[in-house]
Amino acid sequence: MIEPCKLEELLIFTIYRLLDDSKHITSGMASPIPAAAALLAKQLSNEPIRVSVLASQHLHSFTDGSSEVFDLAAQGRIDAFFLSGGQIDGSGNINLVGIGDHANPKVRWSGSFGSAFLYYLVPKVILFRFEHTPRTLVEKVDFISAPGSSAPHVYRRGGPHALLTNRCLFSFDKKRERFCLLSLHQGEDLETVKDQTGFEFDISADLRETPQPDAATLALIRGEVATLLRDPYPTFAETVFGP
């Protein structure tokens, strides 16, 4: 008997479904689930696609130092990337810096990393935040590391495409500059999601349960994808897929 799909595996599969037309997918440092989704996309694609896992020394082919990835993004050579935030708000603004006044914060996080550049320049940015609470999904972020949208004359080819959490999947409506709830993960209900979300959002007319991977896809996640993931993310791989 096959062990049922774990939440992490559902999240990997869900991100994979969002990557359908991307020819070069790049994942950043602390991103095991997005990295797994990108590796799954490479396994399942009918055409050759490139996947660059920056957290691994082996799963990318950059030779011009860590700055090369930003130059590639600036030229439009990266199609999909992943960002997160200590806070994410209903307009798709992300905050990686802290809570309270910048000079005298109540809470401080590591910093904005590449977000204030990549969010503008990578066409498809998927926001992934595991913890879905009013603490993380807020009405308005305290600090905008990178804005969800820009004025029409500001050079920008990229931005938020979707937001995935441990409860549900939202798409981002670029015209309305707000999220739209597409699907709820198994066991979640609309009232709880509304209650646990600090911002207002639209609800899709065909709101449904987030689709689960079929047996063959699940086997691929637990097989080839898990094996590749052990290099950059040994702890995550062992926790989810076992030793």
The amino acid that residue 90 corresponds to is: G
Residue 58 lies near other proteins (rule: CB under 8 A): no
d(CA 72, CA 33): 23
Among positions 46, 48, 66, 243, the unique one binding other proteins when judged by CB under 8 A: 66
d(CA 179, CA 176): 8
Among positions 25, 96, 169, 184, the unique one binding other proteins when judged by CB under 8 A: 96
d(CA 83, CA 207): 25
Of the two residues 181 and 240, which places its CB atom closer to other proteins in the complex? 240
Residue 110 lies near other proteins (rule: CB under 8 A): yes
User: Which span (101-109, 184-192, 203-211, 214-222) binds other proteins, by CB under 8 A?
Assistant: 101-109
Among positions 6, 77, 117, 231, the unique one binding other proteins when judged by CB under 8 A: 117
Minimum CB distance to other proteins, residue 111 (Å): 3
Of the two residues 129 and 185, which places its CB atom closer to other proteins in the complex? 129
In the numeric block, which tokens belong to residue 198? 């600090």
Of the two residues 209 and 238, which places its CB atom closer to other proteins in the complex? 238
Among positions 15, 121, 127, 228, the unique one binding other proteins when judged by CB under 8 A: 121
* 3-state class (DSSP) for residue 221: helix
**Among 111, 118, 34, 112, residue whose Cα is nearest residue 70:** 118
**DSSP of 95-146, one letter per residue?**
E-SEEE-SSSEEEE-S--TTHHHHHHHSSEEEEE-S--STTTEESS-SS-SB
The amino acid that residue 55 corresponds to is: A
Alpha-helical runs (H) found in the chain: 7-18, 32-44, 68-75, 115-121, 190-195, 215-220, 226-229, 234-241
Residue 177, by phi and psi: left (phi above 0), alpha (psi -120 to 50) or beta? left
Residues near other proteins (CB under 8 A), total: 48
User: Which span (38-46, 141-149, 177-185, 189-197) binds other proteins, by CB under 8 A?
Assistant: 141-149
Of the two residues 101 and 189, which places its CB atom closer to other proteins in the complex? 101
Residue 27 lies near other proteins (rule: CB under 8 A): no
Site residues (vs other proteins, CB under 8 A): 29-30, 57, 62-68, 70-71, 74, 96-98, 102-121, 143-147, 150-151, 153-155, 233, 235
